[in-house]
Amino acid sequence: MKTTILKQDGEIKAVLEGRLDTAAAAQTEQDMLPLYDCEGCDVVLDCAKLDYISSTGLRLFLGLLKAAKIKGSHVYITGMNDNLKQVFAMTGFSSLFEFK
């Protein structure tokens, strides 16, 4: 699992690559810490290269969403493949997040 953080045009983006499973969750959570510092800006989770997400990965996304809302930020998800879309639909996460 690889996480790259990019800051540009008033937003902060996390490019997620690989499998976000239980084994990768702890490191990914550490890699995503800069996203929590964004106050009033857009946070984008780029999932174009994310192959898989487990319930632990979903928990990371939800924690980020809750923290962002408190700070007046928005969290957007981009580039989801059909498998990820299906996981989000089955878990109800599709109604929690905004998609670009």
Task: Give the tens place of pLDDT for each residue, 28-38.
Answer: 999 999 999 88
Global pTM value: 0.95
What domains can be seen in the chain, in order of their start residue? 2-99 (3.30.750.24)
CA dist 71 and 63 (Å) reads: 13
Residue 21 has pLDDT above 90, yes or no: yes
CA dist 41 and 81 (Å) reads: 25
Render pLDDT for 62-77 as a digit per residue (tens, 0 to 9). 999 999 999 999 999 9
Give the three-class secondary structure for 31.
helix
CA dist 46 and 84 (Å) reads: 12
Bridge partners of residue 4, in order along the sequence: 15
Would you tell me how many other CB atoms lie within 10 Å of the CB of residue 55? Answer: 11
CA dist 36 and 66 (Å) reads: 10
Which pLDDT belongs to residue 10? 83
